[in-house]
Structure 1
């Protein structure tokens, strides 16, 4: 029976929402401070791409073990332990004076943020009835996007006036407070059906999930979302700095525009999926992102206002995350949900790591050829469009086949 007291679930959901906001901040913060960070650490575009990809690679590779931990021990303990690790990673990153130490810090931060959104979905789905679950997820997803907003104009102002290191030290301190809140309020105990299984058996069970056709239909979308999200999380700041010459405060304002669009989409996506169906929302959003990417590829340096609007639409593909996770959650038995979310999240964040690193390599190649910044970024946008189309085609085909089979 899933009707726990609001006095118990309310503080836990609030703590997990705050943790999600911190996760969103750390995912997005490099975009605003990229030029200053790169200059301080001596990074070229490929080096910056590798640094930003370290966060997402660590984030993605531990998703399945995190899913196992959720099924076995619940959300609270694994999340608080990994967030404590992230506090150490944040300190290491803030105090780093070279690429190696900064990369290790990003790995720690990626591991800390890895369980948060999946934990929020898992905890809410286990503790709340369906109607409250959807409403709570929509609100938490929207409020969590405040972390993205804080990583825009406020962070740009802080970087301009104090530097990126003090700004990141403050953010690390906030993470420590949120970690304590999660440890104190999220007291679930995992799923009873998973308690009798060994961790190795549960990991093998996660691999068996790859045989579920309904999950494979979502894998291309998980990978494709990254091509747009990488511009909000890492490459949007370098783009407006290199092409339009924006300083940290102006970059922060530009990223705020993108973040507000993401904020609105985060609220709207779960509700739209409930009204029109997940398949329609996924296909429609990805088509919109493809068109925006084509516009940026053809007009990368025409107008800051126009290109920011198009960049916001391109990055909107990333806000499909809760829709995809909820669709995946519904394809497996309750005792496997944590692991199913882990499998899907692995593809999401490994895709982000690949996109961020790939954009860096392509940008370095273009600059070595002497191409203008506009031409270099046109190539990046073209690569994003290609990735989105490669994700959309198999998903749309699978959806059409399922609809034809049930007609």
Structure 2
């Protein structure tokens, strides 16, 4: 039951991470938002998500996963309901903030919960399973959501999502164990000492892990319509992007059987860097090439659990929640910051091609810096 409940919760989280790519432009049109306001609205979810990571980690270390996750998810349900009723930028902004708060404990809760109950290898397999199943939420937030909003409107879609989040919160509250068996840090860390400075090489990686998701979650729609015209089937492109993300998510556990985690992270960043450079040079190359690049950039986020697993080897058991929270804060601050920066760039008095050259060029530069630090500064024996 806990596996099903956590999979459903992660499904909801992945839906909310991605739904704004479809709903956002409709909200912007309805509320007459400027490009900068659209950027802030898109980043609000990830900003609040990021800021809650450390407090959520502290709550997990003190009370376990069950009640902190369930109660905070109720806040997310209320946020989606508020967004559905919004008539101004600020009410929509508050709704997005609350949704981000509600989703904040879910991914880390999956890692933490299974990490408390199982050995690292078994916990990793369970987390990968939840991640794969839950990633279908990103697919639902593409063409199915486009169809739903076309038929019933974005407000009904947000109201329905609110009910979904509330149901997932109830499932978590009734399915997860309240008190987990205590285990010594020696058992869970293999006697590794607390080595915070050795985690520094992961900071740029964490900050850029979900950078590609910024496009799937918000900016793919504006990019596609600005460059290829308003007749572009954005829903179909986002569906294809989500399918690639889901396929690579299901492939990841099998890849880990053959290659080390650090090899997968490095290769993923090389592919992402080359993809970003392609669209930085020629953002209007073709709709098919653009869709492929957006899919590859989005799929980069699947190595998030791999990077967190690498970090957990350096985290003591009694501080695993706050440690994972700190690293996850960087992941979602990166998404929030990039979305806001993209909004500022979009407001510059430049033609569309020049704007998106800057957007994808900045993306490629951030990925390059993270890759160099990860490869050059990784301490010996830190690979997974």
Does the TM-score normalized on the shorter chain lie above 0.5?
yes
Q: In structure 2, which of residues 292, 296, 312 is the aligned counterpart of residue 309 of structure 1?
A: 292
1:25-40 residue pairs with structure 2 within 5 A? 25-40=15-30
Q: Does 1:224 align with 2:202?
A: no
Preserved CA contact (<8 Å) 1:191 1:335 = no
The equivalent position to 1:393 in structure 2, one of 363, 372, 381, is 372
Q: What is aligned with 1:236?
A: 220
Match of 2:258 in 1: 275
Cα 1:191–1:334, aligned 2, differ >3 Å: closer, same or farther?
Answer: farther
Deviation at 1:273? 3.6
Deviations 1:7-48 (A, max 9, x none): xxxx11211111111011111111123322111112122111
Does the Cα contact within 8 Å between 1:362 and 1:380 map onto a contact in 2? yes
Aligned mates of 1:283, 1:133 — CA distance in 2: 23
Deviating 4+ runs (over 3 angstroms): 190-194
Counterpart CA distance in 2 for 1:304 and 1:176 is 38
The residue aligned with 1:49 is 39
> Which residue does 2:190 correspond to in 1?
none
For 1:327 and 1:299, locate their aligned partners in 2 and report how far apart those are by CA, in whole Å: 35
Q: Would you say the 8 A contact 2:81–2:162 is kept in 1?
A: yes
Number of corresponding residues: 375
* Residue 313 of structure 2, aligned match among 330, 334, 358: 330
State the partner residue of 2:191.
Answer: none
Q: CA deviation at 1:387?
A: 0.9
Partner of 2:285, secondary structure, is coil
Shift of 1:131: 3.8
Say whether the 8 Å CA contact 1:296–1:311 is kept in structure 2. no
1:198 is matched with none
Which of residues 336, 358, 364 in structure 2 aligns to 1:353? 336
Distance 1:346 1:193 in 2: 26
Unaligned runs of 5+ in 2: 185-193
Checking the alignment, whether the CA contact within 8 Å between 1:75 and 1:190 is kept in structure 2 is: no
Gapped regions of structure 1 (runs ≥ 5)? 1-10, 195-208
DSSP 3-state at the match of 1:71: helix
Partner of 2:111: 121
Deviates more, 1:46-55 or 1:314-323: 314-323
Deviation at 1:193, TM superposition (A): 8.0
CA contact (8 A) 2:275 2:297 kept: yes
SS of 1:343 mapped into structure 2:
helix
Matched residue SS, 2:283 = coil
Q: Could you tell me how far apart the structure 2 residues matched to 1:161 and 1:258 are?
A: 23
Q: TM-score, normalised by structure 1?
A: 0.88
CA distance in 2, matches of 1:241, 1:160: 17
Displacement after TM superposition at 1:275 (Å): 2.7
Instruction: Report whether the alignment pairs 1:100 with 2:78.
Output: no
Determine the structure 1 residue equivalent to 2:188.
Answer: none
Report deviation, 1:104.
0.4
- Measured in 1, the distance between the counterparts of 2:324 and 2:22 equals 30
Distance 1:130 1:222 in 2: 21
Correspondence for 1:82: 72
1:168 pairs with 158, 164, 174, which one? 158
1:45-86 CA-partner distances (Å, limit 9, x unpaired): 211110111111100111111011111111110000101111
Alignment partner, residue 155 of structure 1: 145
Given that 2:79 and 2:95 are in contact with CA atoms closer than 8 Å, whether structure 1 keeps it comes out as yes
Displacement after TM superposition at 1:235 (Å): 0.9
Residue 58 (structure 2) aligns with: 68
Q: What RMSD over aligned residues (CA atoms) do the two structures have, in Å?
A: 2.1
Q: Distance in 2 between matches of 1:287 and 1:188?
A: 42
Q: Which residue of 2 aligns with 1:290?
A: 273
What is the alpha-carbon distance in structure 2 between the residues aligned to residue 138 and residue 345 of structure 1? Answer: 17
Separation in 1 of the partners of 2:56 and 2:181?
Answer: 14
TM-score, normalised to structure 2's length?
0.93
The change in CA–CA distance for 1:259 and 1:154 in structure 2 (over 3 A counts) is same
Q: 2: CA distance between counterparts of 1:225 and 1:130?
A: 22
Which residue in 2 is equivalent to 1:3?
Answer: none
Tell me which protein shows more helix as a share of its residues: 1
Q: Which residue of 2 aligns with 1:383?
A: 362
